[in-house]
Amino acid sequence: MTSTLLYHHLLLSVILLLHAPLCPAAAGGSWSVLLPSIGISAMHMQLLPNDRVVMYDRTDFGISNISLPNGKCRPNSTDCSAHSVEYDVGSNTIRPLMVLTNVWCSSGTLMPDGSLVQTGGWADGYRRVRIYKSCATCDWQEISNGLNQQRWYATNHLLPDGRQIIIGGRQAFNYEFYPKMSATENSPSFPFLVQTNDPNVENNLYPFVFLYPDGNLTKLSRPTRQCPAGNQGTTRALALRYYSL
C-alpha cells in the first residue's frame, strides 16, 4: 500500500468515526419501581423461558406479606401466606405459589423442557425435589425423599443427557443425579470435596461447576486463605462462605 493510499484510508476512517453516533452516556439510565412489593423476600429467583420469573424464600422465618389464594394454608400449619410467587413480566403482575418445604440455601436449574427442578434446603427440605412448570394455574410439585442425600448449599448443573448432576452440600462429599436411572442409583463419593474442605470451616459450599462443550465437567476449589492467630506466628483458616450468582 502506497503512502498516499494509506493516508486516504486513515482519513476516511477518521471521518467515519467523527460521524458515528455517540454511545448513550451511562448516567442517562434510570430505575423504575414496577411494583411496591412482591410480598416475599426473593432469596432465590429464576427467569423462565416464558418471560416469567419464579421467586421463593425460606419458610421458617414467619409469615410473608402475600396470602395464598382461596384461603389455602400450608399443610399442618397455621401459615396461610405464600413463600413463593411468579412474576409475569408482560402484565407486571404477581401470582402467589405454595412451596411446601424450606428452600433456604437450596439449589436448582432449568430442565430442557423449561421446568425448574429445585432440590434440597433446610430441615424438612433436606431431601426434597421440587418441580415448577409455569402455566396460568400451575404450582410447585414436591417429591419427598427425591434425593439420596441431604443437600444444603449444593450445586446443580444440567448435563448433555438432560439430567441434572447435584454436587456436594454441607457435609455431603458426594454427588447424585436427577432424575434417577433406577431406584437403586446411589450417590458416589467425591474425594475432591473432602480434600478441599477445611475441618470446621464452612468453605466448600455451593461448589463452582462448569460444563465444557466436550461434555467434561470441572469443579473448582477455592484456595486456602490464612491469617495470623495471635502472637505465636501460627495461622488459621479464614471462614468463607460462597454464594453463587
Looking at residue 229, its pLDDT comes to 46
Q: Could you tell me if residue 180 is inside a domain? A: no
Q: Could you tell me if residue 229 is inside a domain? A: no
Q: Could you tell me if residue 42 is inside a domain? A: yes
Does residue 139 carry a pLDDT above 60?
yes
Q: Could you tell me if residue 234 is inside a domain? A: no
Ranges of H-type helices in the chain: 3-19, 191-195
Cα-Cα-Cα-Cα torsion 117, 120, 121, 122, nearest 10 degrees, comes to 150
Looking at residue 20, its pLDDT comes to 61
Looking at residue 141, its pLDDT comes to 98
Q: Could you tell me if residue 106 is inside a domain? A: yes
Looking at residue 151, its pLDDT comes to 97
Q: Could you tell me if residue 80 is inside a domain? A: yes
Does residue 1 carry a pLDDT above 60?
no
Looking at residue 6, its pLDDT comes to 46
- Residue-range definition of the domain harbouring residue 44: 35-146
Distance, CA of 112 to CA of 162 (rounded, Å): 6
Q: Could you tell me if residue 87 is inside a domain? A: yes
Looking at residue 29, its pLDDT comes to 87
CA quadruple 121, 122, 127, 132: dihedral sign: negative
Average pLDDT over residues 89-107: 97
Q: Could you tell me if residue 190 is inside a domain? A: no
* Residue bearing the bigger pLDDT, 53 or 13: 53
Looking at residue 72, its pLDDT comes to 94
**In angstroms, what CA-CA distances link 133 with 19, 80, 157, 215, 223?**
50, 22, 18, 27, 38
Structurally, how many domains does the chain consist of?
1
Looking at residue 201, its pLDDT comes to 81
